[in-house]
Amino acid sequence: MQPIGAQHEFHDPVYAQDWANRFVPTRPRQALFDLMVEQITSRCPGNAHIVELGIGPGYLAWEILGRIPGVSYEGVDFSEAMFAIARARLAAFAGRIVYTRADLTDGVWSARLSRQPDAIVSTWALHDLGAEAHIAAVYGQARAVLPTGGLLLNGDFVKPDESNFDYEPGRITPSRHEELLRAAGFGDVQQLAYWEKDVDNPTSANNYACFVGIA
């Protein structure tokens, strides 16, 4: 049996557009965006610089830029095909967003940022890095680049702690996410919510949770 997960071709423009069309926010996915907007609004300055790791087609960015008027935004991704889709979706916010091409597994993405972020956010992206070690390294770099008190929010697909199924290596358990965040130096680490939890019938699209850490 195949591990729970998915193969992607994010650099292929046709694949990227088709994927974006299929991944339109559903009600529970929208709840993740709502939670992130609420966290940023309550914990960050009104003029915060927000960096998103894996901006993809820009669904999360559209929510944050539309609902928090004072923030600036920086979308990091390694796919020009995804940037093209995001640029079209986010055209109304062009003056408040920059796009930074970087590979999140290369260990130097944080040096490419246009300026120091107040918050680093990500949705459904870090599992695609393909290994727990890459997620740990990204958490470490995020901690290093954030100011004291800066916010890290990661909403991502997880493997339920109680699961006996094989998952692709980037889908790690909630308890490992929390351990990796603490090991990276974040405080106040918590799982804020878990959506579409299904231990017995896992798919590539259910079981995702949101984690917070304060630098």
Q: Which residues in this chain contact ligand SAM in the complex, by CB under 6 A?
A: 10, 54-60, 77-79, 82, 103-105, 123-125, 128-129
Find the shortest distance in angstroms from Cβ 188 to ligand SAM.
Answer: 23
Tokens of 15: 């694949």
Closest distance between ligand SAM and the C-beta of residue 57, in Å? 5
The total number of residues shown for the chain amounts to: 215
Distance between CA atoms of residues 186 and 143, nearest Å: 7
- We find the least distance from the C-beta atom of residue 164 to ligand SAM, in angstroms, to be 26
C-beta of 20: minimal distance to ligand SAM in Å?
8
- Using N-to-C axis directions, what is the helix angle for 13-22 and 80-89, rounded to 10°? 50
- Residue 174 tokens read as 């909630």
Q: How far is the CB of 84 from ligand SAM (least distance, A)?
A: 11
Residue placing its CB nearer to ligand SAM in the complex, 6 or 214: 6
Strand order in the sheet with 49-53: 97-101, 72-77, 49-53, 119-123, 151-157, 208-214, 187-195
3-state helix vs strand vs coil in the chain, percent to 5? 40, 20, 40
- How far apart are CB 60 and ligand SAM at their closest, in Å? 3
Residue 181 token pair: 């965040």
Closest to ligand SAM by CB, 78 vs 165, is: 78
Pick between residue 10 and residue 73 the one whose CB is nearest to ligand SAM: 10
- Output 63 or 118, the one with its CB closest to ligand SAM: 63
- Identify the burial level of 88 via C-beta atoms within 10 angstroms of its C-beta, where 0-12 means exposed, 13-18 middle and 19 or more buried: exposed
Question: Which residue, 1 or 91, has its beta carbon nearer to ligand SAM?
Answer: 91
Residue number with CB closer to ligand SAM (79 or 110): 79
